[in-house]
Amino acid sequence: MENIFQQQLADSRRRLIVDAAIAVIAEQGFQRTTVKQIAQMAGVADGTIYNYFKNKDAILLAIVEQFTEAEVRELDFNEAQKVPYAAFVQMYIKHRMDEIEANFAALKVVIAETIVNEALRTEVNRKIYTPAFEIAERYFQHLIAQGEMQPGDPVLRARLFAALPIGICVLRMLGDEHVVENWERYSAEIAALLTTFGATDDKTT
């Protein structure tokens, strides 16, 4: 009984530290952030961090982990196959852009670090990147087979599809004020563009 309670307490404490870490690291990057800063933001002592994480790198991995869970929860292209392409894209993009906004700090941390951290890149590729694209590729293959999408390389198309929201995301990370202030509009425009993207022009008929 007490074990469970203790476990929950520990989990919430761990979560507290990870969230604090995301907040600080998003501002200044992982390397520039000290364990002391994370501890202060989390309201615990420096040493306490090490009761929950083996070392500083483990915090970064935990951020990715936490991010991955949220990410994976979203990846339900199976559901997609029951809905028409256009409708699904609309819904999906809206959903993802909302998610991105909600977890923007974490995404910032993950992207910035993944670019320059070989070990993390491997990890992220294995856990998020590759599986996500595999699902997308299969979905596009399905669409092409169904004649809902023009013939073409689904691998390449999945990347081009992802590139647009990712690009806008990065512009936001780079500090583009127009993107920050008009996130909803960008979300809608991206959805619109990706709806027509590769779609067969059955609509005109």
Partner DNA sequence: TATGAATGAGAATTCATTCAT
Partner DNA sequence: AATGAATGAATTCTCATTCAT
Sign, Cα dihedral of 71, 73, 74, 79: positive
**Among the listed residues 47, 82, 174, 201, the single contact to DNA using CB under 7 A:** 47
Considering only residues 62 to 121 of the shown chain, the ones binding DNA according to CB under 7 A are none
- Within 10 angstroms of residue 62's Cβ, the number of other Cβ atoms is 18
- 75 touches which of its own copies, DNA, none (CB within 5 to 8 A by kind)? none
Identify the three-state secondary structure at position 149.
strand
Q: Which of 40, 42, 45, 92 has its CA nearest to residue 62? A: 42
3-state secondary structure at position 176? coil
Distance CA 132, CA 124 (A): 11
142 binds DNA (CB under 7 A): no
Which does residue 34 touch among DNA, its own copies, none (CB within 5 to 8 A, set by kind)? DNA
Min CB(77)–DNA separation in Å: 38
| Distance of alpha carbon 64 from alpha carbon 17, whole angstroms | 14
Binding site partner of 193, from DNA, its own copies, none, Cβ cut-off 5-8 A by kind: its own copies
The residues, ordered by sequence, that sit 6+ positions from 108 with a Cβ below 8 Å of its Cβ are 26, 173
- Closer CB to DNA, 45 or 70, in the complex: 45
Total residues at interface with DNA (CB under 7 A): 20
Q: How far is the CB of 138 from DNA (least distance, A)?
A: 40
Nearest distance, CB of residue 152 and its own copies, angstroms:
9
- Of positions 8, 27, 34, 79, contacts DNA by CB under 7 A: 34
Task: Choose the one of DNA, its own copies, none that binds residue 35, judging by a C-beta under 5 to 8 angstroms depending on kind.
Answer: DNA
The backbone region for 34, taken as left when phi is positive above 0, alpha when psi lies in -120 to 50, beta otherwise, is beta
Nearest alpha-carbon partner for 123 in 114, 132, 136: 114
The residues that touch its own copies, with contacts defined as CB under 8 A, are 25-32, 108, 111-118, 121-122, 124-125, 129, 133, 155-156, 159-160, 162-168, 170-171, 173-176, 178-179, 182, 185-186, 189-190, 193, 197
